[in-house]
């Protein structure tokens, strides 16, 4: 859809102009930048106040997008700083602290050698900073654009038997080592991974700095949230669909009233029940 045909902008009614601008703003990406700037040049001297509001909104859209591009390039550049490499894997885990359900680790290998706009994954960030809907949207994009990815889960029974520290390390290690390729380096969030025979660098707040770690954080989070939503249908008393197994008031109340479910971590709830 391209409503702009370079005719005299003064002939546009406000409603027509708003339709035009709304389309470009809603669907804005790098490929529409030149067209939107062209429209802005036509309307910047328009005396109508409501048109000037559209003009300012368009400029803010462009500015916001440019800042996002800059942020994402910085995250890609961080990972590229470990080159020359063939494959870099970012790994992260989710579910270390909940009272129920598995711990999940994920690894992601991106194409860091092609930073053309179409290859970039915008809006990636620490999964905790994103809405559930945005994570689900990005989960699909990451899996489409990643060269390789792997997700590994360890259940609550193993957490009780082996301990959360061992399981935390194991999901990270196994997600990285069971890829279809052997990475040249593995970036992990916060601390190093034990038992690797591959170079490993840990990055403090890595899910905000490294594009690969952030992508791993997102797909691990979506995977685990989906599991907990399914468990919520089987064990409806704890609000798993809302709290993903974390110790919210609703969850604690359900534990005290109904007792633990088969997916609870008994080593985590022994002081509650």
Q: Which residues are annotated as a binding site for a divalent metal cation?
A: 92-93, 189
Question: For the packed helices 49-80 and 211-234, what is the interaxial angle rounded to 10 degrees?
Answer: 100
What 3-state DSSP class applies to 131?
coil
Tally the residues of the chain: 273
Q: Which of 151, 159, 153 is nearest to 264 (CA)?
A: 159
Q: Which residues are annotated as a binding site?
A: 92-93, 189
| Helices 14-26 & 33-43 angle (0-180, nearest 10) | 150
The burial class, CB within 10 Å (0-12 / 13-18 / 19+), for 39 is: buried
Classify residue 259 by burial, with Cβ atoms within 10 Å: 0-12, 13-18, 19+: exposed
Radius of gyration of the CA atoms of the chain, in A: 23
The alpha carbon torsion through 259, 262, 245, 146 (nearest 10 deg) reads: 180
Q: How many CB atoms lie within 10 A of CB 2?
A: 9
Cis previous bond, 46, omega within 30: no
Q: What tokens were used for 199?
A: 């170079």
């Amino acid at each position: 859809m391209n409503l702009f045909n370079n005719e005299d902008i003064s002939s546009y009614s406000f409603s027509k102009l708003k339709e035009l601008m709304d389309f470009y703003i809603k669907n804005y990406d790098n490929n529409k930048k030149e067209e939107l700037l062209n429209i802005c040049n036509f309307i910047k001297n328009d005396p109508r106040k409501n048109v000037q509001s559209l003009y300012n909104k368009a400029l803010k859209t462009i500015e916001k997008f440019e800042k996002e591009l800059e942020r994402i390039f910085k995250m890609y550049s961080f990972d590229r700083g470990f080159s020359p490499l063939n494959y870099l894997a970012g790994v992260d885990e989710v579910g270390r602290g909940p009272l129920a359900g598995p711990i999940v680790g994920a690894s992601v290998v991106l194409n860091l050698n092609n930073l053309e706009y179409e290859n970039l994954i915008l809006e990636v960030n620490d999964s905790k900073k994103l809405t559930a809907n945005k994570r689900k949207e990005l989960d699909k994009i990451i899996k489409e654009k990643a060269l390789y990815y792997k997700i590994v889960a360890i259940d609550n029974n193993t957490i009780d038997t082996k301990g959360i520290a061992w399981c935390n390390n194991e999901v990270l290690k196994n997600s990285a080592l069971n890829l279809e390729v052997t990475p040249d380096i593995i970036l992990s969030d916060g601390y190093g991974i034990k038992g690797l025979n591959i170079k490993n660098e840990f990055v403090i707040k890595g899910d905000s700095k490294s594009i690969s770690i952030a992508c791993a954080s997102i797909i691990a989070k979506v995977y685990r949230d989906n599991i907990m939503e399914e468990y919520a249908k089987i064990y409806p008393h704890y609000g798993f669909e809302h709290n993903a197994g974390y110790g919210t008031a609703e969850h604690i109340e359900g534990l005290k009233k109904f007792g633990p479910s088969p997916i609870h971590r008994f080593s985590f709830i022994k002081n509650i029940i």
